Every structure is written in structure tokens, then in C-alpha cells.
A and B are shown apart, each in its own frame.
Chain A
């Protein structure tokens, strides 16, 4: 990497840490540390909400998905705007007026201590492991693409984030998020511009998109009602609605964002910012991936973007097979490029028969290329024994490091780091808040001074930072564990949402109903997962409905405390 790119990354990291440390002076108590004294403007909170949701793996994974599969992933977010409206008139005012530090604190006021402890514990387990994955995934990608050691990339992400979060608290997290969103959007915008300018002379953006569209990559809406499919209009609108209600309404890492807002209205506005911008932003990131696909129509891509096992294969018994695949890949690429040129020429001529003919040829040549790539991936899996091997997350970083000009490489690597750090910081801050407020202060030391809790909060943040970075190094070699962590999240959000629905919408709901309902909801999700093929996005609906149903039954079977 060029020294200028190093300089840009260095300046970015220094800027974030310096500003975070500077803000520690404004954090003089535990309310300032976790809630910024409820003083932040709505737009800063809104950007923080968006930055928290967009992890590095969202950025590199989504562009990779756009390259490999197209834009249909955007449907995943279709339920988000309505979820934000519902939260604005329900949980946001509830939490804000209750003056709570954590979402789970409210559950004790409404139900009891054990329901609060269970919800808090579920959060700590699921997000504690998830934050390790959030560090690990980009660390692995950057390590392979840039040739840095995994320990270095994990530390480069984990250490600065832990430092500014630990000393600066939520103030540092939020203002770093604002900067990081600027870096992310600026970086993606610059990449889009370069991709458009890189089209061959005489090829327009529209013409190139028509070629990409022939492969189905620009299909954004699928109205089929298939519960096994994650990315459809209905799974996004219904399953996505429940997922977003659970994530933004019950996950402390998001709840804590809007609790820092100046007022209830400011909290609402911060969420509505995502309601307006999330789908267009996600569509832009996916389109970036499609444009990378278009770029590689005219410039030969690597057969595999993840070169992790390439040396091993070239030195092994099946090296010849791999070389043959490379030769076939090169031929297939040449054929596809010719087919793309012919399709563009046919569209210009306006000859309907030629358009259909050349389109068919292009689709066939793309299928040929895909088949060779799939063969290479299978070969890597067989030789390395790494059955989880994939290269989708490596497409965009490879494009950045091999095709972008000096300066932009640094900016885009900084954008990937920014995406990672913004999510990790919010998680660390929220994990610390839950550890200290829901467990330490509630159960172990309820009458200590504010200064003591502030100190313990910083120690707790440092602990979670060290845990996340350490776990990241461990998780890097355990692909299946990452999947397990993601599944735990699916168990958690719907069921927790169900408890909050019981809390606010069912006056007759009792503490025992909520507690056992929460456990039953997760058990039902586990049962559904084990016995059906439905997509995980529907687990959020199943979990929420199961908790409400079991919670209501148990509550109505026991005498009301008022009647008793």
C-alpha cells in the first residue's frame, strides 16, 4: 500500500482517538458516560443510529452480495420505516419518560427483577459474542486482502475503539459515529464515481446496467410468498418489521443511542432519519456491488477473491487442476466480455431480434463463468477442509486495493475501519451499561457513589473491549461459531420484542407470565428452526407471537394482583 494511503488511515485513527479522549473531559458522571446527560442533537443521534447498524461486514458483505447475487437483499429493510414510526409512538416515549439507563431497567419497573435480569443476560451473551464477530470478520478480510497479520488487523480495529469508548463514553461514541458515517458515505460515493468513470469509452451507465440486469442482479422486488426465502417483499415487510422492532426497540446498543437525545422529539427524529435514508443507502451500497460486477465485465477479475488457501493448492497434489480451472476461467471471461460488447451494440442498433439473441449469449457466458468459479470454490473447500470457505466478503476489499487510485485506497480502508469501529463502540458502551446498571449496581453494590459507578463503567468497557478483541482472534478460525452467534440473535430479538409488547400492550400481563413467556418464546423458535425450513427472518415473528401468547395465557391463569 502506498505511503499516502497509510497516512490517510493513520490520520483517521488519530483523529478518532484524539477526539474521543478530548470528550472524556465532558464525561463527569455515570449519566454523562452512558447517556451524555440526555443532551445530544437529533441529527448526531440519528447518524449514530445508522452507523451502529452498519458494521464493516455489512459494508463489505453487502457490496459482495451485490456483486454475486444482485440487489434483492434490499428487501430485508422494507419493514424498517414503519418499525421506526411504531417505535416513535411507543417505546421511545416510554423509555425516555421512564428516565432509564437501559431498556431492561424498564422491565423491572413493569414486571420484576428476574425478568430484567434474564433480558439483560440474554443481551450480554448474544451481543458479547456478536461484538467479537464484528471485530473478527473485517479483521480476517483485511488481513488476507492487505497481507497484514490477523493479530495486527484485530488490534488495529479493537484497540482504538476500546480506548475512545472507554475514556469518552457515549459522547465519544456518538461523535465518532458522526465522523465515521461521513467517511463511509464519502468512501462509497467515491468508489461509485470511480466505477462509473472506469467504464470503457463509449459505454454508458445505462447500457452497462442493462447488461447487469440480464443476469437478474438488478431485480430488487420479489413478490413471491415463500417462507423459506429470506429476501422477498413479504419477508422484508412483515419479518423485517418484527426484526427491526426488536433490534431498534429492545437491543440496548440501539436504545442507548436515542436515550442520549435532548428530548422525546429529538429521539423520534433520530429514528426517523433511518426511516428516510436506510433503504436508499442500502440500495446504493448494493448498487456499488453491481457496479463492481459491471467493472469486472470489462476487466478480468481474479477467479477467487479470497486467496487464503491459494498457496496451499498451488503447492499441493491438485495444483494442475487449479491451473486448468484458471485457464477455463480466462477463456470464459473473454467470451463474456465479447458477449457484453455484442449486447451493448445490439441495444444501440435497436434490432429487437439481435437484442434477444445477444442477451441469451451473454446469460450463457455468465453461467459458464459462474460454473468455473463454483468449481474453484469446491476445489478450495476439498483441499483445505475449510467447508465454510467463501469469497463474497472479499470482492469489494480486493477491488479497493487492486483497482482504486492512491489516496482512495486509504479512504476506503478507513471507511471499512470506520464501519467496524462505529458498531463495536456502540456495542461496548451498551454492554458496559447493561453490566453496570442491570447487574453490578442492581445486585452487587446498590449504594455506591456516582464516581465509583463511573470508574466501574470504564473498567467494564475495557473488559468488553479486551474480550471482543480476544474472542475475535479465536472466532477467526471458527466459521460455524459465527453462524451460531448470528442465530442466537435471531432467537433473541423476536422473543424480547414479545416481552416489551406484553409490558406495554397487555395491562393484565404479570411478571411470571413475561419471564416464562420469554423462555417459552426462545424454545418455540428453537423448535421451529429444528423442524422447519422457514427463513430466520420469520423467527422474529414466531418468537414475538409465542411470547405474547404464552405470557397472556400464564397471566390470565393466575389471579390479578389487584384482585388477589
Chain B
């Protein structure tokens, strides 16, 4: 079927977490790693630039 202009077509849930395994822990690990890395960079900057 050829889609037509203005037609509200396929819709999905905005957040889709379905999968074979839960990723919640991995997402938390990403955030925690970023916090640690940014803190490390800030410390590095302060230590060597001061």
C-alpha cells in the first residue's frame, strides 16, 4: 500500500525496553562510568594545572 501524505501511520511506544535480557544495570553502569571518568578528568585537570 502506498502511504499518503497526512496519514498517521505506524506507531510505536516511545520507550521500548523489550529484549532478551534486561539492560537497566548496563545503563546504570554507563552513567556511573561517565561520572567516574568526568570526575577523573576534573581531578587530572586540577592536579596538573594547579
Contact = CB atoms under 8 A, between A and B. Distances in A.
Contacts of A108: 3
B5 A508 contact: no
Nearest to A222: B45
A413 to B, nearest CB: 30
A220 B17 CA distance: 34
A209 B48 contact: yes
Contacts of A452: none
Nearest to A558: B6
Given A78-B38, A220-B42, A221-B41, A84 B30 contact: yes
Given A81-B31, A221-B45, A279-B34, A109 B10 contact: yes
Interface in B2-50: 2-12, 14-21, 23, 26-27, 29-31, 33-34, 37-38, 41-42, 44-45, 47-50
Interface stretch (A244-252, A268-276, A396-404, A542-550): A268-276
A168 B23 CA distance: 33
Interface stretch (A7-15, A88-96, A179-187, A491-499): A88-96
A138 B31 CA distance: 35
Contacts of A340: none
A111 B33 contact: no
B15 A113 contact: no
Contacts of A405: none
Given A81-B34, A89-B15, A276-B33, A113 B44 contact: no
B15 A219 contact: no
A510 interface: yes
Contact of B19 (A220, A264, A515): A264
Interface in A443-477: none
Size category of the binding interface on chain B: 35 or more
A100 to B, nearest CB: 11
B16 to A, nearest CB: 4
B23 A561 contact: no
A112 B3 contact: yes
B12 A94 contact: yes
A81 B7 contact: no
Contacts of B21: 265
B27 to A, nearest CB: 5
Nearest to B17: A89
A560 B7 CA distance: 8
B8 A276 contact: no
Q: Is the interface of A mostly helix, strand, loop or mixed?
A: helix
B15 A272 contact: no
A510 B3 CA distance: 12
Contacts of B38: 78, 221, 279
Interface stretch (A150-158, A190-198, A210-218): A210-218
Contacts of A311: none
A212 B17 CA distance: 46
Nearest to A269: B26
Contacts of B16: 89-90, 93-94, 97
Given A112-B7, A561-B6, A562-B8, A81 B33 contact: yes
A356 to B, nearest CB: 12
Interface string A62-106: 000000000100100010011011001110011001100000000
B23 A265 contact: yes
A112 B8 contact: no
A505 B30 contact: no
Interface in A494-515: 504-505, 507-512, 515
A68 B28 CA distance: 36
Contact of B3 (A78, A113, A212, A268): A113
Interface of A: 71, 74, 78, 81-82, 84-85, 88-90, 93-94, 97-98, 108-114, 206, 209-210, 212-214, 216, 218-221, 263-265, 268-269, 272, 275-276, 279-280, 283, 504-505, 507-512, 515, 558, 560-562
Interface of B: 2-12, 14-21, 23, 26-27, 29-31, 33-34, 37-38, 41-42, 44-45, 47-50
9 contacts: A78-B34, A81-B31, A94-B12, A108-B3, A114-B5, A212-B48, A265-B21, A512-B5, A561-B7
Given A89-B23, A511-B6, 5 more contacts: A94-B16, A109-B9, A263-B19, A272-B26, A272-B30
